[in-house]
């Protein structure tokens, strides 16, 4: 595949592809090239993606953002499911570093979160502010050709409402309608990552690299701020009952510090009502996706996914915001 993409039939591996952990949607493979094309590093990662439309959107965004100087792996090659792999793919530089946090279960996760309290909000806030400062026009122009998947928040909400109906989830469809009927005050669109959390940051010395653009959208900055503050406020830790209050207290502190630093770094104040509405959109997104897994009877395959760990809290938040009594996904 790369031999054809680079017009280098002599291209060969120094180390063959090996699976990388992380991610629920795409398959990641790390490999090395013996003699890479001019300008390429030898250490690379292939991302194999199951949905061609989402893959095209993600590839456009990551490529453009990297060319704009933002710290994300440069895209070296890409193609659709007809490229020989049976799935859409993207080959990118392998970024140095490791996630700031490791381990999602037990007391060690709480200890790690406490230890990262001084760094984590700043790293996320600074990365987000830099992303939102990028010129969105080149991305908007390229995304205008995509119709298979939503590229704006309004488009995402419309799709979520449609999918909730297909899944026979009247409660989620009603919550989506409430969000559509009660929008916040208009705000300029920026490029939102849509999934900016600690495990999508690789930290190496003073460099922070942002990964995984699958959920990226053109949306008000409040959407990104709402997503990250929500996940920080309720970290997806599977803990003994007695330790959950500790996790909640740590998370609330992380979320407050993140929002304060982001607003200072960006120079933009986001009203709390806008954060709350956009957090509702995040909860809806998670619960509709989980409802799809329930319909496909693959909930067990997604065990440990944040959407399922967060499920009860997300349902409570969305119910309180919209007045729709939102239930948790279950296999019928």
For residue 129, pLDDT beyond 90: yes
Last residue in a domain, options 40, 71, 93: 93
The helix-helix angle for 153-166 and 272-296 (nearest 10°) equals: 40
Residue 18 lies in a domain: yes
Do 140 and 213 share a domain, yes or no? yes
How many domains are there within the chain?
Answer: 2
Note the pLDDT tens digit of each residue in 285-307: 999 999 999 999 999 888 888 89
Do 158 and 220 share a domain, yes or no? yes
CATH code at position 313:
3.90.1200.10
For residue 137, pLDDT beyond 60: yes
48 Cα distance to chain centroid: 16
Question: What average pLDDT does this structure show over 193-214?
Answer: 91
Question: What average pLDDT does this structure show over 34-45?
Answer: 94
What is the per-residue pLDDT for 242?
Answer: 53
Specify the higher pLDDT residue, 241 or 248.
Answer: 248
Angstrom CA distances, 23 to 19, 26, 65, 225, stand at: 11, 6, 21, 21
Question: What average pLDDT does this structure show over 103-131?
Answer: 71
Do 55 and 179 share a domain, yes or no? no
Task: With beta carbons less than 8 A apart as the criterion, state whether 254 and 232 touch.
Answer: yes
What is the per-residue pLDDT for 6?
Answer: 79
**DSSP letter string, 95-152:** PP-B-S----BHHHHHHHHHHHTTTHHHHHHHHHHHHHTS--HHHHHHHTT--SS--B
Question: Percent of the chain having pLDDT more than 90?
Answer: 69
Task: With beta carbons less than 8 A apart as the criterion, state whether 332 and 294 touch.
Answer: yes
pLDDT bucket at 116, cuts 50 / 70 / 90? low
pLDDT bucket at 104, cuts 50 / 70 / 90? very low
Do 117 and 47 share a domain, yes or no? no
Question: Percent of the chain having pLDDT more than 70?
Answer: 89
Do 167 and 239 share a domain, yes or no? yes
Q: Phi, psi at residue 291, to the nearest 5°?
A: -65, -35
Specify the higher pLDDT residue, 234 or 225.
Answer: 225
What is the per-residue pLDDT for 57?
Answer: 97
Question: What average pLDDT does this structure show over 230-247?
Answer: 63
What is the per-residue pLDDT for 206?
Answer: 79
What is the per-residue pLDDT for 136?
Answer: 95
CATH code at position 16:
3.30.200.20
Last residue in a domain, options 93, 114, 138: 93
Residue 331 lies in a domain: no
Specify the higher pLDDT residue, 57 or 85.
Answer: 57
Query: Taking Cα atoms as reference points, which of 255, 143, 119, 261 lies closest to residue 191?
Result: 143
Do 176 and 197 share a domain, yes or no? yes
For residue 4, pLDDT beyond 80: no
pLDDT bucket at 24, cuts 50 / 70 / 90? confident
What is the per-residue pLDDT for 239?
Answer: 47
How buried is residue 219: exposed, middle or buried, by Cβ count under 10 Å (0-12/13-18/19+)?
Answer: buried
DSSP 7: T
For residue 115, pLDDT beyond 90: no
For residue 248, what are the domain limits? 106-322
Token output for 192: 């939102």
Do 228 and 175 share a domain, yes or no? yes
CA–CA dist 332, 71 (Å, integer)? 44
Do 126 and 265 share a domain, yes or no? yes
Choice among 70-84, 98-112, 156-170 with the minimum mean pLDDT: 98-112
Question: What average pLDDT does this structure show over 79-88?
Answer: 89
What are residue 248's DSSP bridge partners?
A: none
What is the per-residue pLDDT for 330?
Answer: 73
What is the per-residue pLDDT for 241?
Answer: 52
Answer positive or negative: Cα dihedral of 235, 240, 246, 249: positive
């Amino acid at each position: 595949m790369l031999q054809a993409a680079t017009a280098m039939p002599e291209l060969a591996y120094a180390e063959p592809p090996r699976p990388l952990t992380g991610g629920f949607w795409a398959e990641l493979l790390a490999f090395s090239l013996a003699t890479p094309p001019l300008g390429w590093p030898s250490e690379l990662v292939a991302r194999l993606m199951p949905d061609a439309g989402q893959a095209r959107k993600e590839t456009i965004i990551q490529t453009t953002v990297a060319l704009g100087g933002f710290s994300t792996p440069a895209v070296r090659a890409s193609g659709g499911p007809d490229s020989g792999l049976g799935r859409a793919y993207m080959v990118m530089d392998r970024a140095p570093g490791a996630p700031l946090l490791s381990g999602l279960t037990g007391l060690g996760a709480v200890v790690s979160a406490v230890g990262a309290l001084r760094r984590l909000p700043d790293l996320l806030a600074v990365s987000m502010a830099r992303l939102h400062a990028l010129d969105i026009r080149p991305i908007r122009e390229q995304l205008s050709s995509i119709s298979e998947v939503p590229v704006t928040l309004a488009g995402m909400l419309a799709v979520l409402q449609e999918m909730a109906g297909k899944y026979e989830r009247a409660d989620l469809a009603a919550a989506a309608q409430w969000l559509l009927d009660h929008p916040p005050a208009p705000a300029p669109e920026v490029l939102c990552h849509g999934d900016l959390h600690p495990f999508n940051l690789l930290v190496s010395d003073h460099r922070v690299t942002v990964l995984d653009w699958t959920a990226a959208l053109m949306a008000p900055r409040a959407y990104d701020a709402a997503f990250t503050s929500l996940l920080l406020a309720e970290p997806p830790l599977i803990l003994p009952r007695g330790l959950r209050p500790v996790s909640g207290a740590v998370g609330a502190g992380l979320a407050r510090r993140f929002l304060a630093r982001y607003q200072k770094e960006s120079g933009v104040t986001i009203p709390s009502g806008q954060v709350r509405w956009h957090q509702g959109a995040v909860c809806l997104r998670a619960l509709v996706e989980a409802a799809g897994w329930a319909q496909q009877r693959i909930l067990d395959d997604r065990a440990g996914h944040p959407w399922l760990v967060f499920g009860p809290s997300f349902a409570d938040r969305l119910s309180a915001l919209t007045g729709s009594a939102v239930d948790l996904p279950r296999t019928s």
